[in-house]
A and B are shown apart, each in its own frame.
Chain A
């Protein structure tokens, strides 16, 4: 017990450099796609409506809590019904909900419309990595967490997370051209996983035996990080997604590199691609 306590204290102290990077973000990270833009806007709208209702309703309640106290000599009234007011406070919420539902409906229709994409990437989830197949460009690779295992640690050997993008970094990033509509065809090989990149407004289960589609368009170049959103076994926390949006030219260069790499790997060692669990 004492040893464990010391260990905990030790790791707590050793994690101090992380504390220096204190992060108290309280909102959805900056959106970078048309859909996540709309999601951000919808969330803010609803949040303000809810806050306004909260302030009004609980303003009334806390006024009552402070004013209508027995200790202040309040004498209880006897009313227990008022049909008019009950109808009013049933109808008003309907109006507020209609006001919320209208823009939300527009976004649902937009996000479900994966037609006419500029390119298509097939995503296959495995326990515990992702495979990406660029159906238009013939690029195909696996993407695995690149954070070293000794940083993660275990109960025997506690980890020391030092990488800046600890747990949100992969060996092969998903590179996409900026401003193009990318359709994703998402599936899984073993259990259900979730392809989740909040800044691009995508969170879609990959379901073994079925292909589901989704889409995104990166507004500007950048690196967008996410991870598996559906529990998929013991390494669920260790299958990140990193999307790199590049200009059309840089993307073309990347495709060329990938193809060269693929050709080299194929002549070299066919087994490594054919057997995803060989790592």
Chain B
């Protein structure tokens, strides 16, 4: 990166270096890198919390952390992973890749882009720092349901503020992404000829703009209930705790797709590249993604089957949720049809993509099981749900992030990563992921609730297997960090088109991508 930076220096007058460069940068590549590093750091912070949780759950009885601290760890682990690790990683990909893929010189609002990123570290400090205030961090679960969250101390206010800041950052990022995609595409790139990753992010950005303000509203009402005598969620004052759940999940369910649609986009690039065959059913992929996004607004009630909604409500949310299986199925079939009769090789990105397709589908199946209201009644808030959302979020979102990182690292750094270590990282991650999370299905079926620091003896064996898997999974990620650093520092020189089967504008610029690219729009055929 440094060499190209010097080169760019020539055309662009003054150009800060060192730390100042990153404080003031408006360059989409710098900002993309900062998002990705931020995400990786938060991934390790959240992962550390997960390991403390798994250590405590290694056996019945209390050993490592007391129950109140345990609740704080589960709460902040979730918030850190969702808002600190997964979402910023995808924004990092968007910053790096969208201008390169649509042939734009930068993001539409470059200064706002800087601001969107620099809001994130203070928000993260508020979240993680809330462990240090009297009473410890918020311990109500990441859903912050009142009245429990009303009982919490100042850390709940810090969490609310952090959510506000990260929400503002997301909204700004989304506006930037929508504007860039709609206005700055290379001539000839019509909407239906855009790369899939760009499509999925366009839809994701609209979802973010739609639901982030809803979350902001929910937590603001929480804040005024806590400090200013309102009773939005207090029945004694005419409010209703259930209303918070409705508002929260109206945000929360689209949020789930915010974390998976860009993953679909990344996978839709990796599979065609390594199958050396164009993506099967491009148009139906676009329609399927849009349908998933639209359906995501009318399924929130499936998080609330145990609230006691009327039968008609339960049935509506059950049917709507089941419908999501249709477009999701279409996407899986299309990926497999893309592989079919291809000429496949299995470099690390492809390994992650194939694992994504199969493991994400397991998460999809358990999602279908949970969609069935009566079955959900017996599985709601058990470890089955924990297993389900880790299958879609870890072997879904995070596998795609890792696959995408290996896929584009040559473009970002100018070097090929260490393929052997990449494969070791993949196999350790895939195996230990399943050791960690597959047994949790059994725990949930047997009736072990989530968010408990201690459990009945009949749950011991699967918890122990899960904890051993978790430590292996956590340690394996150090290999990922090592491979990235090694790749940045050197390695086999990457060609402009780093992969034989790669298609798209980003592979037409040199590797590493120069500091400024596409200052005049490229020709797109």
Cα distance, A15 to B147, chains bound together (Å)? 37
Contact with A along B309-338 (1 / 0, CB 8 A): 011001100110011011001101110111
A150 → B minimal CB distance (Å): 10
Interface status of B454 (Cβ within 8 A of chain A): yes
Complex contact A65–B354 (CB within 8 A): yes
Chain A residues within an 8 Å CB radius of B311:
108-109, 112
Q: Please name the residue on chain A nearest to B354 by beta carbon.
A: A65
A82 to B346 alpha-carbon distance, docked (Å): 26
Please tell me which stretch of A174-182, A228-236, A251-259, A264-272 contacts chain B, meaning at least 4 of its Cβ atoms lie within 8 angstroms of it: A228-236
Q: Which of B31-39, B55-63, B111-119 contacts A (4 or more CB under 8 A)?
A: B55-63
Contact indicator A75/B374 (Cβ below 8 Å): no
Q: Are B139 and A234 in contact (CB under 8 A)?
A: yes
Q: Are A205 and B457 in contact (CB under 8 A)?
A: no
Give 1 or 0 for each of B54-78: 1 = CB within 8 Å of chain A CB.
0000111111111110010000000
**Is B179 engaged at the interface, CB distance under 8 Å to the other chain?**
no
| The one of A160, A225, A236 that contacts B451, using a Cβ cutoff of 8 Å | A236
Q: Does A124 contact B (CB under 8 A)?
A: no
| Chain B residues in 8 Å Cβ range of A278 | none
A242 to chain B, nearest CB (A): 12
B345 in contact (CB, < 8 A): yes
* Given contacts A46-B372, A58-B358, A111-B374, A152 and B454 within 8 Å (CB-CB): yes
Check A198 against B62 for contact (C-beta < 8 Å): no
By a CB distance below 8 angstroms, the chain A residues around B445 are: 25-28
Query: In the assembled complex, how far is the CB of residue B327 from the closest CB belonging to chain A, in whole angstroms?
Result: 8
Provided the pairs A97-B326, A155-B63, A233-B139 are in contact, do residues A57 and B332 lie with their beta carbons within 8 angstroms?
yes
CB 8 Å contact bits of A70-83 with B (1 = contact, 0 = none): 11001111111110
Q: Mark B23-55, 1 if CB is under 8 A from A, else 0.
A: 000000000000000000000000000000000
Give the number of residues in B that approach A within 8 Å (Cβ atoms): 99
- Which one of A115-123, A134-142, A186-194 is at the interface? A186-194
Residues 151-170 of chain A, each 1 if its beta carbon lies under 8 Å from chain B, else 0: 11111001111001111100
Q: Given A24-B461, A58-B358, does the pair A152, B449 have CB atoms closer than 8 Å?
A: no
Contacts of A109 in B (CB 8 A): 311
Whether A39 contacts B374 by the Cβ 8 Å rule is yes
Q: Is the CB of B460 within 8 A of A198?
A: no
**Chain B residues with CB under 8 A of A273:** none
**Chain A 45-74 interface 0/1 with B at a Cβ cutoff of 8 Å (1 = within):** 011001001100110110011001111001
In angstroms, Cα B456 to Cα A166, docked, is: 5
Cβ 8 A contact of B446, one of A11, A29, A90, A212: A29
Known contacts A42-B372, A155-B64: A61-B447 contact under CB 8 Å? no
For residue A165, give the distance in angstroms from its CB to the closest CB of chain B.
7
Known: A69-B343, A81-B280, A209-B240. A152 touches B61 (CB 8 A): yes
A184-219 contact mask (Cβ, 8 Å, vs B): 1 or 0:
001000111010101001111101111011100000
Asked if A86 is an interface residue, CB under 8 A from chain B, the answer is yes
User: Of B323, B329, B460, which is within 8 A of A18 by CB?
Assistant: B460
Indicate if B380 sits at the interface (CB-CB under 8 A). Answer: yes
A143 in the interface, Cβ–Cβ < 8 Å? no
Question: Contacting chain A: which of B80-88, B200-208, B271-279?
Answer: B271-279
B445 to chain A, nearest CB (A): 5
Q: Which residues of B contact A36 (CB under 8 A)?
A: 378
Q: Is the CB of A222 closer than 8 A to any CB of chain B?
A: no
Is A81 a contact of B281 with CB atoms below 8 Å?
yes
Say yes or no: B375 contacts A237, CB within 8 Å: no
The complex places the Cα of A239 from the Cα of B284 at a distance, in Å, of 50
In the complex, chain B residues whose CB is within 8 Å of the CB of A85: 337
> A192 to B147, Cβ gap below 8 A?
yes
Task: Name the residue on B nearest A229 (C-beta).
Answer: B381
Output the nearest chain B residue to A196 by Cβ-Cβ distance.
B449
Interface residues of A: mostly helix, strand, loop or mixed?
A: mixed
Residues from chain B with Cβ under 8 Å of A78 in the complex:
277-278
Interface residue stretch chosen among B361-369, B390-398, B413-421 = B361-369
B242 part of interface (Cβ distance < 8 Å) = yes
A261 in contact (CB, < 8 A): no
With both chains docked as a complex, state the minimum distance between the C-beta of A219 and any C-beta of chain B, in angstroms: 16
In whole angstroms, how far apart are the Cα atoms of A81 and B280 in the complex?
Answer: 6
Q: Please determine whether A42 and B235 come into contact, CB atoms closer than 8 angstroms.
A: no
Chain A 6-26 near chain B by CB (<8 Å), digits 1 or 0? 011001100100110111111
Q: Taking CB as reference atom, which chain B residue is nearest A199?
A: B447
Q: Which of A28, A80, A207 contacts B242 (CB 8 A)?
A: A207
User: Given the interface contacts A22-B461, A36-B378, A236-B451, does A229 sit within 8 Å of B277 by beta carbon?
Assistant: no
**A19-B460, A24-B462 as given contacts; A89 in contact with B372, CB under 8 Å:** no
B455 CB–A CB distance under 8 Å: yes
Interface residues of B in 93-123 (CB under 8 A from A): none
Q: How far is the CA of A21 from the CA of B469 in the complex (A)?
A: 22
A101 to B319, CA, bound (A): 7
* Contact of B339 with A by CB under 8 A: yes
A108-B311, A208-B147 are contacts. A152–B62 as well, Cβ < 8 Å?
yes
CA distance A64 to B280 in the complex (A): 15
Top 5 closest pairs, chain A to chain B, by CB: A209-B235, A212-B308, A237-B452, A159-B61, A77-B341
A-B contact pairs, 22 of them (CB 8 A): A7-B63, A11-B61, A21-B457, A23-B460, A27-B442, A39-B377, A50-B368, A68-B343, A77-B341, A77-B342, A80-B282, A81-B283, A86-B330, A90-B284, A97-B323, A153-B62, A153-B63, A191-B151, A194-B380, A201-B378, A203-B306, A203-B380
